A = this chain, B = another copy of it.
Amino acid sequence: MKQQIPLYLGIDGGGTKCKARLEDAQGNLLGEGLAGPANPVRGLALSQQAVLDSTLMALEQAKLGQGQLPSVNACLGLAGVNVALYANQYKNWRHPFAKLHVMSDLQAACLGAHGNQDGAVIICGTGFNAGAYINGQLTEVGGHGFELGDHASGARLGINAVRRVLEAIDGLCQHSSMTKAITSYTKCSNASALFETYHKATPSQFAALAPIVIQYAKQGDVHAVEIMRTCAAYIDLVVERLQKLCPPRFSMIGGIAEPMFQWLNKASQDALVDPLHSPEEGAILFARNNEH
């Protein structure tokens, strides 16, 4: 099938997965793709591979081959490239696209959530990031990666759950349904096994435990509830901070956004509205508006 150029590609690349969306010149969805982690903090080659894999998957779904890559106007929204080091690494990429824009996942999310208009956004997925674009100015809050930040993220829920299991094993707190569920899921019944499995685990591996925490928090499990409340309190702080900038719209997106919502305070809940579009649609909006 011969496709009329140009094509438009939007990428939303986070710590666990990379989503691609391909549209034609008229804005019709041609195909979508999904690949692995695309955060360059965990490896540039891995990140670029995820971008290409998800793109080729989207092309394939559109019944197009990789021969079409030189017709693609691409915009990547990537976690991690808010750090200058990783943004610079991406600048030197000998990419196969007609044109390439690289922006933070935050900017793509904001463009999508508010339909290319001003607004603020909180992303809580595997990692955490938040910010506001107002009058052309970006204010970023939080993020800073798994080790130093991401205080309200799937990875943080997961590592806090593992820590709580270790504390229960140590006799520093009681076991609960959640610690037992984590023990069962991880197949680690003692501290040494948990250490060997998790002391160098990736954010994705920790985030894989987040659904267990979320599930048991809903049931009132004492440890799960405390972990959710700690994360929610951090989000409340971020909402309060960004509200001072009076964003016209404010959304929270990402894999744990929906289950986190009920744990936020009322002021945060009142501040947040549904996003209009996805981050990958936000990236495509940018590619269209910056074609020439």
Given the complex of chains A and B, what is the CA–CA distance between A288 and B159 in angstroms? 42
Interface-located stretch among A15-23, A64-72, A162-170, A262-270: A162-170
* Copies in the assembly, this chain: 2
- 16 A–B contacts from the bound complex (CB under 8 Å): A41-B199, A82-B192, A83-B196, A141-B170, A142-B172, A144-B166, A144-B194, A144-B195, A145-B199, A147-B199, A148-B163, A148-B199, A149-B163, A149-B166, A170-B238, A172-B238
A237/B172 in contact, CB under 8 A: yes
- Residues A154-195 near B (CB distance < 8 A): 159, 162-163, 166, 170-172, 191-192, 194-195
Among candidates B144, B170, B172, B195, residue contacting A191 with C-beta atoms closer than 8 Å:
B144
1/0 per position for A117-142, CB-CB distance to B under 8 A?
00000000000000000000000111
Among candidates B147, B159, B198, B200, residue contacting A159 with C-beta atoms closer than 8 Å:
B147
Given the complex of chains A and B, what is the CA–CA distance between A65 and B85 in angstroms? 48
Name the residue in A170, A194, A241 with the highest tally of chain B Cβ atoms < 10 Å from its Cβ.
Answer: A170
B83/A172 in contact, CB under 8 A: no
B147/A83 in contact, CB under 8 A: no
Among candidates B85, B142, B171, B195, residue contacting A148 with C-beta atoms closer than 8 Å:
B195
Chain A residues with a Cβ closer than 8 Å to the other chain, count: 32
